[in-house]
């Protein structure tokens, strides 16, 4: 398999301008990097000669000015190099996270439901961070380290090649040590990232169910589980940290032998008159900076190895990298003009479509919950035709297949058999035309408006219309900040019925051609349910303008709205056992009639 740094080359192309400019600045910097040490030595010699009366003040000032100029010649390119390369690295990380999310969004639903959310979060956040460090070490430190060492090595050879070769004898041993440590760290970094993912997943699960755990008195069990996961993470992180912490000490010990040799032989050269004091200071400065920067080589290797382990976990998530569009090719020093700050275009505009409800056809559809090894059949050979713009109500006992039918219509889950078509096409062709309200509505920490629009550009009038359809306008008007009121994580600040209606308003605001409602009124009273159904029929039914019509499929165990349906479907044991209008099924006296009569009786007040 190709090295991950080579595999990531599309991300380098996205920031090619910054990488080229940063690399050129690095070449300039590392070509001039030896000049300050050389000029410092000459300035010391000039100061010594001036003190001895062997040089003029002008000579001393000239040496000091050369030292200042040499420092500027090094530091100005360093500023540009770091600016451009660090900007490129930040952009690469952002693009990796975006592509990881695109990859996750493209996963089949079976994989999404089988993968812990916390583990995915750990990969998208933590593993990208570790991978970004590895990339940074390559694109930022390569020029700084390799060219830096090359420049200093050549300068030391020019000053004294024999002393240089003797003093650098420990370097090959340090490099071998770094290579061996890198392989060791790579293996343990993989385990550490896995432990981090497990801890994140565990925390996410426990925090999501913290209220239930407290009510059931299970706080201690939850705490014990998290402590066990945290201990495992600590042990795996320590397994990585120990060699990383010990490597600098070993490297410094090896390099200390070279420093002692330079001090000894360099001092003898000064005493013998072979070197001036300035030449000795120059060589010592070069050697100390060479060995100090040489320590970055083991660190670079370790970070690259750790990045490889992170990439191995991240790679299954990544979608194909997108070309950068609308971005500045080069970074600017002006605020707001950083390359890559313009969002990349990830979605194409939808093709024009006929504005009417979708006709739905199910032919011998079988649907199973779970994976192939432990599948539970929920639908068995179901066939159903729904005309465009119809209002279809589906009911049945618990476990009859109502939710399975709703999921089959979405086209997000694989079918065990049969076909589903919308206007003769696969559901995937109409992904943007389907509105869906699941049993457990999804809300995020934000305002009512943000939860309804979900990032879409939408006029206030459309938002208010969606609130009216969901019978939520009066509730929202009572909030302190109206549609801009914060509802908390998962809508914790509003009631269960309001959460369902916010999710319904979101589905209605999207202007769907097929609206699938899976038990959407379980937390809503009967009167409000009737009001919502009437609003849905007025907004999307066959009496509405053709541009707004939608096919509505309502799956529910509550039958209050079923008399308004064009077609009622009754499921039992994963099969359709009855179908027809409300009146027809009541006259038939079958399962539907019994369920409806029982619910009507339960709704009647008891006689005094």
Q: What percent of the chain has pLDDT over 90?
A: 11
> H or E stretch including 212?
helix 210-215
Distance of CA 477 to the CA centre of its chain: 35
Q: Can you tell me the distance from the alpha carbon of 142 to that of 144, in angstroms, rounded to the nearest whole number?
A: 5
pLDDT category of residue 321 using cuts at 50, 70 and 90: low
> H or E stretch including 395?
strand 391-395
Q: Is the pLDDT reported for residue 327 higher than 60? A: no
Q: Is the pLDDT reported for residue 606 higher than 60? A: no
Measured CA distances, 60 to 71, 73, 407, 411 (Å)? 17, 20, 84, 82
Which of these ranges, 111-125, 412-426, 495-509, has the smallest mean pLDDT? 111-125
Superfamily, domain 360-603: P-loop containing nucleotide triphosphate hydrolases (3.40.50.300)
Burial of 398 (C-beta count, 10 Å sphere; 0-12/13-18/19+)? exposed
Summarised one tens digit per residue, pLDDT across range 570-582 is: 999 899 999 999 9
Which of these ranges, 108-112, 142-146, 269-273, 365-369, has the smallest mean pLDDT? 142-146
Mean pLDDT of 500-524: 87
At 442, is the secondary structure helix, strand, or coil? coil
SS3 for 451-475, per residue? Answer: HHHCCCCCCHHHHHHHHHHCCCHHH
Q: What percent of the chain has pLDDT over 70?
A: 87
- Residues 18, 330 contacting (CB under 8 angstroms): yes
Return the half-sphere exposure (C-beta side, CA atoms, 13 A cut-off) of residue 512. 23
What is the reported pLDDT for 1?
Answer: 40
Summarised one tens digit per residue, pLDDT across range 530-560 is: 888 888 888 888 877 877 889 999 999 888 8
Measured CA distances, 14 to 84, 104, 169, 315, 326 (Å)? 13, 21, 42, 18, 11
Q: Is the pLDDT reported for residue 331 higher than 70? A: no
Mean pLDDT of 424-437: 86
Mean pLDDT of 503-507: 89
What is the reported pLDDT for 372?
Answer: 52
Mean pLDDT of 191-211: 75
Which of these ranges, 28-32, 199-203, 535-539, has the smallest mean pLDDT? 199-203
Summarised one tens digit per residue, pLDDT across range 211-245 is: 666 666 677 777 788 888 888 888 888 887 777 77
Which of these ranges, 202-206, 563-567, 598-602, has the smallest mean pLDDT? 202-206
Domain limits of the chain? 4-317, 360-603
At 62, is the secondary structure helix, strand, or coil? helix
Which of these ranges, 117-121, 319-323, 513-517, 529-533, has the smallest mean pLDDT? 319-323
What is the reported pLDDT for 339?
Answer: 39
pLDDT category of residue 182 using cuts at 50, 70 and 90: low
> H or E stretch including 587?
helix 582-588
Q: Is the pLDDT reported for residue 256 higher than 50? A: yes
Return the half-sphere exposure (C-beta side, CA atoms, 13 A cut-off) of residue 85. 24
Summarised one tens digit per residue, pLDDT across range 374-410 is: 567 889 999 999 999 899 999 999 888 898 999 889 8
Q: Inter-axis angle of helices 16-32 and 57-105, to 10 degrees?
A: 150
Pick from 20-34, 298-312, 562-576 the range whose average pLDDT is largest. 562-576
Q: Is the pLDDT reported for residue 342 higher than 60? A: no
What is the reported pLDDT for 4?
Answer: 79
Which residue from 419, 357, 420, 423 is spatially nearest to 391, judged by alpha carbons? 357
> What is the residue-averaged pLDDT of the chain?
80
Longest dimension (CA), the chain: 123
For residues 509, 504, 555, 550, the Cα torsion angle rounded to the nearest 10 degrees is: -10
Mean pLDDT of 289-305: 74
Q: List residues bridging with 395 in a β-sheet.
A: 570
- Residues 580, 394 contacting (CB under 8 angstroms): no
Q: Is the pLDDT reported for residue 333 higher than 50? A: no
Q: Which residues contact 568 (CB under 8 A, 6 or more apart)?
A: 392, 393, 394, 395, 562, 578, 579, 580, 581, 582, 585, 592
Q: Is the pLDDT reported for residue 346 higher than 70? A: no
**Prediction pTM value:** 0.66
Which residue from 374, 323, 285, 315 is spatially nearest to 37, judged by alpha carbons? 285
pLDDT category of residue 608 using cuts at 50, 70 and 90: very low
In the block, residue with structure tokens 């062997």: 54
Summarised one tens digit per residue, pLDDT across range 36-48 is: 888 888 888 888 8
- At the topology level of CATH, where does 4-317 sit? ABC transporter transmembrane region fold (1.20.1560)
- Residues 449, 463 contacting (CB under 8 angstroms): yes
Q: Is the pLDDT reported for residue 336 higher than 50? A: no
């Amino acid at each position: 398999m190709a090295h991950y740094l080579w595999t990531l080359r599309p991300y380098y192309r996205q920031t090619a301008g910054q990488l080229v400019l940063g690399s050129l600045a690095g070449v300039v910097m590392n070509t001039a990097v030896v000049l300050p040490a050389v000029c410092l030595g000459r300035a010391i010699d000039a100061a010594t000669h001036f003190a001895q009366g062997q040089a003029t003040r002008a000579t001393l000032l000239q040496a000091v000015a050369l030292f200042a100029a040499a420092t500027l010649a090094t530091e100005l390119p360093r500023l540009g190099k770091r600016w451009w390369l660090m900007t490129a690295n930040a952009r690469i990380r952002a693009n990796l996270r975006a592509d990881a999310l695109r990859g996750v969004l493209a996963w089949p639903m079976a994989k999404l439901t089988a993968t812990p959310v916390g583990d995915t979060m750990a990969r998208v956040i933590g593993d990208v961070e570790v991978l970004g460090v590895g990339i940074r070490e390559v694109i930022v430190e390569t020029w700084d380290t390799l060219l830096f060492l090359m420049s200093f090595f050549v300068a030391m050879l020019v000053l004294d090649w024999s002393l240089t070769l003797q003093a650098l004898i420990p370097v090959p041993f340090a490099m071998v040590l770094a290579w061996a440590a890198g392989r060791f760290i790579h293996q343990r970094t993989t385990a550490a990232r896995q432990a981090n993912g497990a801890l994140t997943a565990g925390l996410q699960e426990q925090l999501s169910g913290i209220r239930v755990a407290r009510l059931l008195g299970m706080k201690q069990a939850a705490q014990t589980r998290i402590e066990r996961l945290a201990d495992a993470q600590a042990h795996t992180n320590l397994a990585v940290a120990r060699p990383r912490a010990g490597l600098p000490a070993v490297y410094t010990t090896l390099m200390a032998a070279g420093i002692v040799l330079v001090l000894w032989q360099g001092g003898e050269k000064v005493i013998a008159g072979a070197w001036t004091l300035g030449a000795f200071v120059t060589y010592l400065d070069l050697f100390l900076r060479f060995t100090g920067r040489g320590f970055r080589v083991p660190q670079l290797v370790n970070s690259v190895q750790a990045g490889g382990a992170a990439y191995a976990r991240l790679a299954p998530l990544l979608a194909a990298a997108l070309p950068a569009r609308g971005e500045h090719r080069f970074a600017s020093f002006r605020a707001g003009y950083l390359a890559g700050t313009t969002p990349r275009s990830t979605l194409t505009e939808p093709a024009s479509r006929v504005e009417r409800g979708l006709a739905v056809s199910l032919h011998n559809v079988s649907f199973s919950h779970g994976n192939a090894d432990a599948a539970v059949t929920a639908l068995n050979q179901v066939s159903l035709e729904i005309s465009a713009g119809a209002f279809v109500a589906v009911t049945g006992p618990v476990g009859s297949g109502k939710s399975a039918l709703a999921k089959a219509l979405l086209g997000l889950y694989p079918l065990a058999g049969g076909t589903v078509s919308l206007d003769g096409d696969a559901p995937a062709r109409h992904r943007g035309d389907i509105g869906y309200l699941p049993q457990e509505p999804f809300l995020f920490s934000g305002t009512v408006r943000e939860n309804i629009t979900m990032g879409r550009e939408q006029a206030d009038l459309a938002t208010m219309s969606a609130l009216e359809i969901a019978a939520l306008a009066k509730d929202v008007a009572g909030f302190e900040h109206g549609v801009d009121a914060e509802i908390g994580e998962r809508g914790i600040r509003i009631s269960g019925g309001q959460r369902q209606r916010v999710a319904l308003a979101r589905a209605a605001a999207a202007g769907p051609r097929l609206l699938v409602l899976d038990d959407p009124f379980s937390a809503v009273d009967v009167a409000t349910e009737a009001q919502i159904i009437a609003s849905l029929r007025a907004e999307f039914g066959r009496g509405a303008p053709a541009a707004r019509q939608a096919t509505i499929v309502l799956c529910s165990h509550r039958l209050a709205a079923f008399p308004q349906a064009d077609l009622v479907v009754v499921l039992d044991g994963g099969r359709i056992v009855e179908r027809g209008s409300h009146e027809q099924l009541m006259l038939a006296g079958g399962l539907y009639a019994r369920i409806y009569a029982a619910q009507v009786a339960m709704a009647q007040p008891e006689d005094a």
